[in-house]
Structure 1
Amino acid sequence: MAKKLYLYFLNEDEQPTTILVQEPNQTLDSAAVRSFMEKVIAMELFTHKGQKKYASIKGAKYVDKKTEILL
């Protein structure tokens, strides 16, 4: 199983945008994830068409993807 961490943000136009972490530390709690997301917003490193790509937090979740090979 491959666990991934999806970090959901809203940009300045209130449109959703996502950061996908392929191999996250699986022991992160909500406080640690929120802290990281707040730092991403505060750094203002990413823009798209002159607007902040990550302006506010929408949510985050771990997703397990199980692949079953049949043949």
Structure 2
Amino acid sequence: MLDGLVEVDGRAGVLLGEMSGVAGRFGRYRERLGVALGRVRAGDGAYVSEELESYHGVWFQLHEDLLVTLGIPR
């Protein structure tokens, strides 16, 4: 599981880096995802999906931000 999350994080990091060049607020998602991944690597499995600031929680917030930014209804 951790290997898959690390792979997703690497890909997300590239995209968020590009996106933050257009809209700086997307950089905060990169930072928050990194913190969550660090917690998971340290053995705190709740930061995969259970905590508000978990990887999943931050990812969901990013998804919502993208929908609003692009004007796509949920």
Which is higher, the Rg of structure 1 or of structure 2?
A: 1
TM-score of the aligned structures, taking structure 2 as reference length: 0.31
Looking at secondary structure, tell me which structure has more strand per residue: 1
Greater helix percent: which structure?
A: 2
**TM-score, structure 1 length as denominator?**
0.32
